[in-house]
Amino acid sequence: ETGVTQSPTHLIKTRGQQVTLRCSSQSGHNTVSWYQQALGQGPQFIFQYYREEENGRGNFPPRFSGLQFPNYSSELNVNALELDDSALYLCASSLAQGGQETQYFGPGTRLLVL
């Protein structure tokens, strides 16, 4: 086990609603990255947080936002949910090492938007 936990495991929402997903990183890790994985595709990078600040962002609209807390846990918030937001949301924690870090994934949250 990686020591990375996510909650909830599954979630059903309707279009237009807002959702908050949570991630607790592995002990000693200061960096959390979030990914969206649609069925049959590889994970897509949403953003990364390092020491409570956004440290990189993929091609996702501003309605995808995040937070990292002093204990390095993190939240992903998605506003105005769309049907295409249905996916597996993965977080990964790592210890920043100048781009060489290895990421360890949590089990993911499966989001279904109806």
Q: How many residues does the chain have?
A: 114
Residue 98 CA from chain centroid, whole number? 21
Q: Residues with Cβ < 8 Å from 9, sequence gap 6 or more?
A: 107, 108, 109, 110
Question: Which residue of 24, 26, 33, 93 would you call a contact of another protein, by CB under 8 A?
Answer: 33
Range 55-63 contact pairs with CB under 8 angstroms and sequence separation of 24 or more: 55/31, 60/36
Shortest Å distance, C-beta 3 to another protein: 12
Closer to another protein by CB, 57 or 63: give it: 57
Q: Does 109 bind another protein (CB under 8 A)?
A: no
Distances, alpha carbon 86 to alpha carbons 13, 55, 60, in Å: 9, 25, 14
Question: Which residue of 3, 56, 77, 112 would you call a contact of another protein, by CB under 8 A?
Answer: 56
Q: Does 75 bind another protein (CB under 8 A)?
A: no
Q: Does 100 bind another protein (CB under 8 A)?
A: yes
Residues forming contacts to another protein in the complex (CB under 8 A) are 2, 33, 35, 41-45, 48, 50, 54-58, 90, 98-108
